[in-house]
Amino acid sequence: MKTSSPKGERERLPNPTLAVTDGQVTVKFHPWTIEQIVASEA
What is the structure's pLDDT at 37?
A: 86
Query: Can you give the pTM of this predicted structure?
Result: 0.57
Contact yes or no for 30/14 (Cβ under 8 A): no
What is the structure's pLDDT at 40?
A: 87
What is the structure's pLDDT at 28?
A: 92
pLDDT tens, 2-28? 788 777 777 788 788 899 999 999 999
Contact yes or no for 21/27 (Cβ under 8 A): yes
Q: Where are the domains of the chain?
A: 2-41
At 29, the pLDDT band (50, 70, 90 cuts) reads very high
> Higher model confidence: residue 6 or residue 30?
30
Neighbouring-strand partners of residue 12: none
